[in-house]
Structures are given as C-alpha cells and as structure tokens.
Structure 1
Amino acid sequence: MAPQLYLITPATADLHTASATVAAVLNAATFSALLVQRGSLDDAAYAKLATELVAMGQAAGCAVLVENNTALAKKIGADGVHVTEGPVALKAAIAAIKPSMIVGAGNLATRHDAMTVGEMNVDYVFFGPLAGASDTNAADLAEWWATTFEIPAVLSDPAASPTTDTRGAEFLALSTSIWSAADPVAATATIVDALGAA
C-alpha cells in the first residue's frame, strides 16, 4: 500500500516564488499534510510565509502545520504544529492545542526518543531531517516504528526518488529533491507514479 504524502515547503522569505512553486506541486499530487518549514527565517518572515501557505494548503485538502509555534498556529488558522524541540516543548504544545489541533513530534534520533514522545498523545512521529540529505538511521527507525506501534510514522527522505523504499511508514515526506529539481511538478509526479506502482 502506497504511503500518504507529506510535503515540506522550502524555507524562503520570497513569498511570490514559494507560493507559486508550492501551489504547482500541490496540484500535481494528493498531499495529506503540508509543513511550513522555518529554516533560518526570523519570526516576522516565517509568520508571513506561514500565513500565505495555510489557506493554499487547506484549499488543496492538506492539514497545514507550522514548526513549534502553537500561538502562531492558532493565530493564522493552521491545523497544528510540528514540534522539534524535545519532550518539554512537546508537552507544552499538547497542553496548548490538543485535541482540537494536530501535534506531531520530530527530531527523533533513537528508539528511546520515539517511545518517549509516543507515550505523549502525539498524532504522528516523524523520522528524518526536514531538508538536506537522506538519513539511513531514520529509515530504519521508521520501519521499526511502523511495524511495532499504531501511531502513524512519517519517513522524511529529503533525497526521495522513484526508487525510495518507504519501509512501511504511513507517510512519506518530500522536500529537497522536489524543490531542487529543474521541474518540481515533474519530479513530484515521477515519485508519485513510482509509489503507486510499488
């Protein structure tokens, strides 16, 4: 069974480029979730980017998430937050917005990390980096989690290609390989076609 798709946006302050590119990719495939990546953006630039992309993602049928900031998520009408700052921040996010909004847990490097957050009423566990190179350890962790626990696993493979093995994870997160392609729409379609045939 093919995984659902989770799209991680490019972290850029260029709203025009981000909007146009993300819109095109959202139209190329069915994505269940859209994470607005912060990268090195400051608070103001990130808030502008997230505000721009929330309505777009939701119109495309995505649950739109922001990184770590529950106040921003509530202010701009996002669907939830993706927490990468550890169990204390995760606990605070859960207390602030659950159960009406989504809370996902990322930045998980070990099985212990994953089991710790898995006991905290999260909506998904996320293995792998948001951008950059692939992480073999993340793929192994995602496979272990998906075969052992019921909370959905997201495998983030920034270098995803048509030959990517999703290792049984319920979601595959796409990022760098899409945005760095000469034609992001074509790159997305190629991966989606390969997943459908897997």
Structure 2
Amino acid sequence: MNAPTTSCSLYLISPLEVGGDFPARLERALDAGPVAAFQFRVKDVDQHEAARLAAPLQEICRARDVAFVVNDSVALAKRIKADGVHLGQGDGDPREAREELGREVQIGVTCHASRHLAMEAGDAGADYVAFGAFFPSSTKQSEHKPDLDLLRWWSSLFEIPCVAIGGITPDNAPALIEAGADFLAVSGAVWNGDEVAAVKAFAKLLT
C-alpha cells in the first residue's frame, strides 16, 4: 500500500506506568523513528511524584527535540516548564492556561467528536484540537466515536492542527492520515508490544 502524501506526525502518549524500565523504552521508541511529541499521562499521583517521574522522560525528549506535553495539569506543566499541556473538557479553559503558561507553550484540547467544541477551542487559542476515539481503545474508554468526515471537515476549513486518537494502529492509521489528521496520538499500539517495531511501522506510513 502506498503511504498517503499528506503530512502527518506521530504523537506518543505514555502508559500510566512510567517508572521502572520505561525511560529506556522511551529512548528506544524515540530513536526508532520521527516522533513530534510525547504526552506524559499519569493518574493518582501527587504533583511532587509526577514531577519526579517526568524529569528523566523530559530530558530524553529534550535531547531528541521532541515536544514534552503534560496531560490534564496546567500546574504541573508550569512547574516542570513543559513544552505543552493537553486539556480534557474538564481541565480548565485554554485562555486561563495561556495566561499561566505563556505564549510559547503548546495547548491542546480534547474535543471528542464535536465540531462545536473544536471551534470553541480554536477561538480560545488552542494550538491543536484532538478528536477521538476513532477506534476501540484499551488505554482509555470513550463513548465518543467521530467519523473520518470530521477530520476532512476540520482540515479543509481550519489552520489549527488536528490530532486523531483512540485505538490507532499501523493497520488502521492510513485512513486517518488520508482524511487529514495532522498527528496520530498513539499509546497501546506502541507500549503493549515491541516499541521499536511499532514506531518503525508508523514511520513507514508517515514518510
């Protein structure tokens, strides 16, 4: 199959367990092919522990010029001087995040399957919008299921990049790329197996 010519990049999302040998796995994944960004996503840990876990991963990303994005927490993003923050619908207003974090920090917003939420996020100054889940995901349950027309609509009308998320694998990714996704947000397809082989498989589609 010929890879679509549309420009699209890989956006890795961490598993919930990022201690142990995960820093070494992240290094291998980032060295296996081009990755635009890495999202640090942990749950049920306090900010001090989250900052401790983030530190080595942030260094790995910085050394490879990969944007380091914090999930959900503007306070943590500010504390560790992250490159970006990703906000769910309940995680605060992008305008307030911008005031806290400054002009240089990338702000992304989860918009599920909603054109309205995406336009609102764009008006509020989001640097990218995320749509999903496009496919069933073991990483995060979602009742929202956008179709490919949402990506086509967004990419034809707006300059703000869009991220496709949810159960994405090298097998189902080509349709998302063709529909106009600027980034593929991937977690389980990489971390649930051989991260090097998975990143290489995605890289073939994206070059």
Q: TM-score, normalised by structure 2?
A: 0.82
2:3 match: none
Q: How many residues align?
A: 194
For 1:120-176, what per-residue CA distance to the aligned partner results, in whole angstroms no more than 9, with x for missing partners? 111111112593479741644333211221101111143322342222111111111
- 2:102 is matched with 98
Which runs of structure 2 are paired with 1:6-17 in the superposition (5 Å)?
6-12=11-17, 14-17=18-21
Name the structure, 1 or 2, with higher relative contact order (CA <8 Å, separation 6+). 2
User: Which SS does the other structure have where 1:7 is aligned?
Assistant: strand
Residue in 1 aligned with 2:189? 177
Could you tell me how far apart the structure 1 residues matched to 2:145 and 2:112 are? 13
Distance 1:50 1:122 in 2: 23
Could you tell me which residue of structure 1 aligns to residue 150 of structure 2? Answer: 141
* In structure 1, distance between residues paired with 2:76 and 2:48: 11
TM-superposed deviation, 1:84: 0.9
Q: Displacement, 1:191? A: 2.1
How far does residue 17 in structure 1 lie from its aligned partner after superposition?
2.0
Paired residue for 1:192?
Answer: 203
- Relative to structure 1, the CA distance from residue 72 to residue 146 in structure 2 (aligned partners, 3 Å threshold; closer, same or farther) is same
CA distance in 2 between counterparts of 1:41 and 1:179 reads 21
Deviation, structure 1 residue 100 = 2.4
Question: Structure 2 regions of 5+ residues with no counterpart?
Answer: 1-5
* Aligned-residue CA RMSD (Å): 2.4
* Counterpart code for 2:79: K
Contact 1:11 1:40 in 2 (8 A): no
Per the alignment, residue 49 of structure 1 pairs with: 53
Amino acid at match of 2:187: S
The aligned counterpart of 1:162 is 171
Task: Name the residue aligned to 1:72.
Answer: 76
Between the aligned partners of 1:7 and 1:38, the Cα distance in structure 2 is 14
> Does the residue aligned with 1:15 lie in a helix, a strand or coil?
coil
1:4 aligned residue: 9
Where do 5+ consecutive residues of structure 1 fail to align? none
CA distance in 2, matches of 1:190, 1:179: 13
Cα distance change on mapping 1:132 and 1:108 into 2, 3 Å? closer
What is the rounded CA distance, in whole Å, between the counterparts of 1:178 and 1:140 in structure 2? 26
> Which amino acid letter does the alignment assign opposite residue 181 of structure 2?
A
Tell me by how many angstroms 1:9 deviates: 1.1
Paired with 2:92 and 2:140, the residues of 1 have a C-alpha distance of: 26
* d(CA) in 2 for partners of 1:146, 1:173: 16
Distance 1:78 1:138, change over 3 A: farther
CA distance in 1, matches of 2:169, 2:42: 20
Greater Cα shift, 25-34 or 97-106: 97-106
Q: Is the 8 A contact 1:127 1:139 kept in 2?
A: no
Residue 85 of structure 1 and its aligned partner are, at CA, apart by: 3.5
The alpha-carbon deviation at position 3 of structure 1 amounts to: 0.4
